[in-house]
Amino acid sequence: MIDEEWRYFAPGGALMPGGPSTWYILDWDQRRIIAVTMDEEQESEDVAIKYLHRHIDTLGPDVYGIHLSQDGELVSVSTSPEDDETRCVYYPPLQTIEDRLSGPIKTVLRSDLIELDRLSPNVDLVSYTLCANPTNTKVIFKYYFLIQFLHKLWHEVNLWIRLPPHPNIVPFDRLVLDELHGHIVGFTSLYISGGTISENKSRMFKLKWLEQLICVIDDLNFRYGIAHQDVAARNLLVSPKTDAIMLFDFNYSCRIGGIGYD
Ligand SMILES: Nc1ncnc2c1ncn2[C@@H]1O[C@H](COP(=O)(O)OP(=O)(O)O)[C@@H](O)[C@H]1O
Ligand SMILES: [Mg+2]
């Protein structure tokens, strides 16, 4: 479940001087956009978000818009598809990656994933079972829901999938394909239990983890020519199996000197 503080985001709005105002509010938890209309002018989305939060869990799946009174009471709801502001995301065909990689690519269908928890706006904890390997595998499913962030996923997939196995990098797992066309909707990485360094502050930080961290950064920089660019406690895990620090989240990573290098 996503913390209330991070649950909502307004990709846009339609505001008239003096009102009415409509804010399109994305609920990261339900992955849908609700158009919140109020008769007054609302310069920022804050009031719409505050009042939407009161009602969101009572709105049916067919509701695309709500009209609220000045004090946040529900005046009416709209189920008209014309009010649906949710945008389709373009998912690239598998071939786009397949053609450029040597060796087979492991994939899993999105419909084979069982959702266990939402960890952040674009990240779910899921599990899957494959015929060839009937044990249940817990993995992290990362994907994008908003078209304007899709390039980040694409970049992250292409970089991470090419990294050689490393004891201090969370292993890339599979590309996730949509069940209809086989297009790439996201990817999975192996789930490492125990929380990130920032989530689990009661854990004593070991000197050897610092050494491992320096080592993995050196390997990325000097052996693979990659700058991670987001090394932070929130992007570090500790493997309970190997007691080793594990780096992940390659959203901001790039080739040193290449596009995106700061
Ligand atoms: N492989 C993993 N194992 C365990 N938890 C993970 C893993 N990958 C991500 N997480 C959890 O999900 C959160 C968001 O993942 P991350 O890749 O950092 O996304 P973002 O790009 O949104 O920061 C992390 O802070 C962590 O709590
Ligand atoms: Mg992160």
Span from the CA of 236 to the centroid of ligand 1 (angstroms): 9
Ranges of beta strands (E only) in the chain are 8-15, 21-27, 32-38, 65-68, 74-78, 107-109, 114-120, 123-130, 133-143, 172-177, 184-190, 226-227, 236-239, 244-247, 254-255
Contacts of 65 by beta carbon, 8 Å cutoff, 6+ apart: 22, 34, 35, 36, 37, 77, 78, 80, 83
Residue 134, pLDDT above cutoff 80: no
At residue 236, the pLDDT reads: 98
Q: How would you classify the pairing of strands 184-190 and 236-239?
A: unpaired
In this structure, are 140 and 225 located in the same domain? yes
Residues 123 and 189 in one domain: yes
Index of the ligand 1 atom closest to the CA of residue 193: 4
In this prediction, residue 148 carries a pLDDT of: 76
User: Among 52, 83, 114, which residue terminates a domain?
Assistant: 83
- 242 Cα–ligand 2 center, Å: 22
Residue 133 pLDDT > 80, yes or no?
no
Does 160 map to a domain?
yes
Ligand 1 pocket test, candidate residues 248, 250, 251, 253, most atoms within 8 A of CB: 248
- 122 and 209, same domain (yes or no): yes
pLDDT, the chain, mean? 93
User: Which of the listed residues 61, 83, 105 is the one where a domain comes to its end?
Assistant: 83
Quick one: pLDDT at residue 74? 97
Q: Please determine, for residue 147, whether its predicted confidence score (pLDDT) is greater than 90.
A: no
Atom of ligand 1 nearest to the CA of 139: 1
Which of 74, 65, 80 lies closest to 32 in space, CA to CA? 65
C-alpha 86 chain-centroid distance:
17
Mean pLDDT value across residues 184-203: 95
CA 112 to CA 106: how far, in whole Å?
14
Give the predicted TM-score (pTM) of the model.
0.86
Q: Give the structural domain span for 119.
A: 95-255
Structure confidence at residue 136 (pLDDT): 87
Is residue 89 included in any domain, yes or no?
no
Q: Which residue among 28, 117, 122, 123 is best mutated to probe the pocket of ligand 1, counting the most ligand atoms within 8 A of its Cβ?
A: 123
In a domain, 116, yes or no: yes
Distance CA 214, CA 210 (A): 6
Note whether 176 and 185 are within 8 A (CB).
yes
How is the chain split among helix, strand and coil, in percent rounded to 5? 25, 35, 45
What is each CA distance from 6 to 29, 128, 196, in whole angstroms?
9, 27, 18
Q: Strand 107-109 relative to strand 74-78: parallel, antiparallel, unpaired?
A: unpaired
How do beta strands 65-68 and 74-78 pair?
Answer: antiparallel
**pLDDT, tens digit (0-9, with 9 covering 90-100), for 30-75:** 989 999 999 999 999 999 999 999 999 999 999 999 999 999 999 9
Lowest mean pLDDT among 17-21, 123-127, 129-133, 235-239: 129-133
Q: What is the pLDDT of residues 217-259, one digit of tens each?
A: 999 999 999 999 999 999 999 999 999 999 999 999 999 988 8
* Mean pLDDT of the 88-92 span: 83
